[in-house]
Structure 1
Amino acid sequence: MKKNLIYFSLFVFAGLVASCSDDDEKYTPIPPVVSIENTSGTLSVAQEDTLYFKANIESPIESSFQWSVNGKEASTDSILKFTSEEMGKFEIALTAKNADGEHSATTSVEVYGKYKYGTFVLNEGSGSNGTLIFISPKGGITDSIYYKANGSFLGGVSQDLFIANNKMYIVSQNGGGDGFLVIANAETLKKEVGYQDELKTTLSWPTHIAVLGENDIYLRDNNGVSLFNPSSKTVTFIKGTKNAQKNRMAVADNKVFASTNSKTIVTIETGKDTISHTIEFDDAISGLIKASDGNLWVSSGKKIMKINTKDYSVMQENEVEPFSSSSNMATPAISAKGDTLYFSGGTTKIYRHVFSKNQTDFMVDARTMVENAGIVYNYLGVNPMTGEVLLNTIKGYGKDYLINNISVFDFSSNEPKLAANYENYTRFPAGIFFTYNFE
């Protein structure tokens, strides 16, 4: 009986040992599970701006985690603040580890130049070199960005700029500095080349620019419009452009459109040294800009018209009251966001014209909202993305030009709002330019 009991006890003990051994063999490791939450809502960012990423980690046992950027350790905080002065693509990785293993998640970020998107105000300069002001999409303003990027100056009396091929082309009437024409990287403003002697003897006070290709740069001066080819460094006058107006040209349908003889618009095509077509108007032309659908907006007399860029027909024309324009402005009298145009007639009174409805409304007199808004210096501009209207004013001439405003108006609600006002940044502003209009 005792012997049987001993055998039974040994059997139970062996069974218990076997059971424990089976449990050990059935244990399943549980490594952590991680994911990256993009709290900024975008995977592209300008240089020196910040994106925020949150670490989401699930682990039943104690774990640790590590952020890395392009394989280099970056942080062990739960929130990664990503900022870069360099442009390009970056891989962000989040790796968590516990006793049972590890798990990683990755995402990619693109960093673009800090001047790729936003608003520029070009200054003629006060008896010296021109300067360039930048307003970021977030509303931050930086002056003298060309000098800060290069340590050198634009030419004297800067007048116009154009963006194409990821390059910015800036033309200055008096030359000097880095030249009559400066070509810089459009995202960083780093100078690529400047042209001085090549244009000094062939052009007379160049003021406006349009670009069709790297070797198809069109410059308006006192003679008319000329083609500058940087590769050959040759300047070719375009026949038929004599007396081209001192105002912006427009590029649409891979052609340059310029106003001449006050009442005529001419077209210029690549590879030709003479104009391809003329469009005649009854009254003097005060504005010529590209429309968002690829056609043209033209203001002439008291009319605003849409012109077909392929067959040059007038698609529609509206008689606009109280439209007026000043002849001494070097920028277009109209600016547009889609079907909605704004104008001020060179005064502080801003009007809105909805073209499809042929409806014009008075929006605001800037003087009622902006102190020292005495004189409008060149025409207003409308941000084609936000619809905000920018107006440059100075208190007056003499020393009063030093008291000035870049005013930003928001007309999205029933009452006009002064969204921002930047004081005393300009030195005779030659124009307002939005990067989105060059896309």
Structure 2
Amino acid sequence: MRSISRKFQLSFFVAVISIVGLASCSKDNEAAVVAPRIVTPGLKDGKDTIYIGDSRVLSPQLADVKNPTFLWLVNGVQASTDSTFTFAPTERGDYTISYKIISGNALATYYYQVKVLGKFENGFFLINEGWFGHEPGDVNFYRNGEDSVYKYVFQRNNPGKTLGTTTEFGTIFNNKMYLTSKQGAALVVADAGTMKETGRIDQLPATPNAFLGINTGTGLVGTTDGIYPINLQALTAGSKLSSVSGQIGGMIQSGAYIFVMSETDGVVALNSADFSKAKQVLSKADVGFAITPDGRIWAGQGKSLYAINTQSLLVDTIPVPFDINGSWGAWNAGMMTASTVENAVFIGKTNSWGAGGNEIYKYSPGKPQSLTTPFITVPAGRELIGAAVRYNPANNTVVVTDVKSGYGQNYADNTLYIYDASSGGLKKSVAYTGFFFPAITTFNR
């Protein structure tokens, strides 16, 4: 993997300390000072950003050196006394590498600054259902700025383990990824930087849909039969909540409330403190949730887009000239997402079962005309798949997944698109092959 020098603007300096020995006070006996010079440090500007699993060979070019000795320190700890040093970090973090060369009666020092990222820190994840009857669900990864998709990153980093069949949802909470799979009813937890599994519940009480992290000790799993609290330390499921029933889809927390979408109960606000029912906010909704910078939470159903005030729990209804379709029969997270830099909601126009289509709309509150013309249209002969439309807060883009229209082999023809969220302009498209059936895109935050 190639390194990326970015963001990390740390200063460095070369210090030459002359050590002068005097045989006597006479100028005739004064020892000559020969200072070694570091001509080039072997790393441009002395700075770099690399990933766990990568290494850097540091081999400075020197001049005016005679019978030298060397010392390398990593964050103040001695690491080597060779003339070159291979830096191969095993943990994320910021590192200062000190290089010292003693030659004759002088010392030269150089300071390198290296930022180490997790293998899967600088980019985003594509959660895949998997090919039912052939392959289990898995995770692909796109690294920012590259032109390829890294495939099967869960299996590759966890030999002999699988996520389960039909992996429909994944989200990152407190640097861990929580993944749910329908067949087998599993919840799997992995480190978001390395994709190493850290724990799992092999069999939840009901088939899981979505996960919501509440705090360091508690999460919620929405299932086809209600919501179950999860002890995140012991990774165990508690008793089903009595405050909401039916199949549960989207869940989102904002302040004093947790908003839950139920197929039977509609949108229900639960009290964050104890998960008791505060209010039924809507009698029905099929797609959601998304939250805009003004604090409103968005959901949709049919030809209606709903804006929920998270303080008063009142709802504004915005007419939509097309149907916002959900997918309760074969649930996925839906094609609705929101910007973090402007009050705007992105909606994928789908067919009656919440899939297909090739148009994405951007609704700006107070501008109904924004719903009359697509903001993004994927190329002809392609169709959106899964929860295909997701906003990336890291760089103000909209990430879209699609497949070739049709059936059979067409499902192995995937494309990942990255669009500018302000203009709708296409920034990049990456084609890749495999029967992945993308479910949802998940971002490191």
CA separation in 1, counterparts of 2:394 and 2:406?
33
Match of 2:150 among 142, 157, 164: 142
Q: CA deviation at 1:117?
A: 3.9
Report the AA paired with residue 174 of structure 1.
Q
Match of 2:111 among 91, 94, 106: 106
Corresponding residue number in structure 1 for 2:11: none
- Contact 1:394 1:403 survives alignment (8 Å): yes
CA separation in 2, counterparts of 1:276 and 1:190?
38
1:343 aligns with 2:355: no
- Contact 1:286 1:332 survives alignment (8 Å): yes
1:173 aligns with 2:179: no
CA separation in 2, counterparts of 1:23 and 1:294?
77
**What TM-score, normalized to structure 2?**
0.74
CA separation in 2, counterparts of 1:414 and 1:88?
35
SS at match of 2:130: coil
SS at match of 1:380: strand
1:193 aligns with 2:199: yes
Q: Which runs of 5+ in 2 are unaligned?
A: 1-24, 351-356
SS at match of 1:159: strand
1:363 aligns with 2:375: yes
Bigger helix share: 1
- Contact 1:217 1:229 survives alignment (8 Å): yes
CA separation in 1, counterparts of 2:407 and 2:35?
74
Report the AA paired with residue 367 of structure 1.
P
Corresponding residue number in structure 2 for 1:125: 130
- Contact 1:251 1:290 survives alignment (8 Å): no
- Contact 1:262 1:284 survives alignment (8 Å): no
Deviations 1:55-95 (A, max 9, x none): 698x8x55779683633349868xx9965454455431232
1:93 aligns with 2:98: yes
CA separation in 2, counterparts of 1:74 and 1:192?
37
Larger displacement relative to structure 2 (347-356 or 42-51): 42-51
CA separation in 2, counterparts of 1:75 and 1:412?
50
- In the superposition, relative to structure 1, how do residues 138 and 235 fare at CA in structure 2: closer, same or farther (>3 Å)? same
Corresponding residue number in structure 1 for 2:231: 229
Bigger radius of gyration among the two:
1
- Contact 2:47 2:112 survives alignment (8 Å): no
Corresponding residue number in structure 2 for 1:68: 72
Report the AA paired with residue 335 of structure 2.
A
SS at match of 1:147: helix
- In the superposition, relative to structure 1, how do residues 135 and 426 fare at CA in structure 2: closer, same or farther (>3 Å)? farther
- Contact 1:172 1:206 survives alignment (8 Å): yes
Corresponding residue number in structure 2 for 1:319: 318
Deviations 1:384-439 (A, max 9, x none): 22233222222356423533323213337978335122222452221111122xxx
- Contact 1:125 1:158 survives alignment (8 Å): yes
- In the superposition, relative to structure 1, how do residues 68 and 269 fare at CA in structure 2: closer, same or farther (>3 Å)? farther
Match of 2:243 among 219, 240, 255: 240
CA separation in 2, counterparts of 1:32 and 1:307?
68
- In the superposition, relative to structure 1, how do residues 207 and 91 fare at CA in structure 2: closer, same or farther (>3 Å)? same
CA RMSD of aligned residues (A): 3.9
CA separation in 1, counterparts of 2:289 and 2:443?
16
Q: CA deviation at 1:212?
A: 1.3
CA separation in 1, counterparts of 2:415 and 2:54?
24
Corresponding residue number in structure 2 for 1:250: 252
1:298 aligns with 2:304: no
CA separation in 1, counterparts of 2:365 and 2:46?
35
CA separation in 2, counterparts of 1:123 and 1:148?
15
CA separation in 1, counterparts of 2:260 and 2:192?
24
CA separation in 2, counterparts of 1:333 and 1:415?
16
- Contact 2:358 2:377 survives alignment (8 Å): yes
Q: CA deviation at 1:26?
A: 6.4
Identity of aligned residues (%): 18
- Contact 1:36 1:94 survives alignment (8 Å): no
SS at match of 1:249: strand
1:157 aligns with 2:166: yes
Larger displacement relative to structure 2 (372-381 or 36-45): 36-45
**What TM-score, normalized to structure 1?**
0.75
SS at match of 1:125: coil
Deviations 1:342-398 (A, max 9, x none): 222122112223447666253342124xxx514533331122222332222223564
CA separation in 2, counterparts of 1:49 and 1:254?
44
Corresponding residue number in structure 1 for 2:222: 220
Deviations 1:144-198 (A, max 9, x none): 11111111111111111222232211111112xxx7111222211111222124x
- In the superposition, relative to structure 1, how do residues 273 and 351 fare at CA in structure 2: closer, same or farther (>3 Å)? closer
Aligned residues between the structures: 399
Q: CA deviation at 1:43?
A: 6.3
Report the AA paired with residue 333 of structure 2.
T
CA separation in 1, counterparts of 2:419 and 2:86?
32
Larger displacement relative to structure 2 (268-277 or 99-108): 268-277
CA separation in 1, counterparts of 2:345 and 2:82?
49
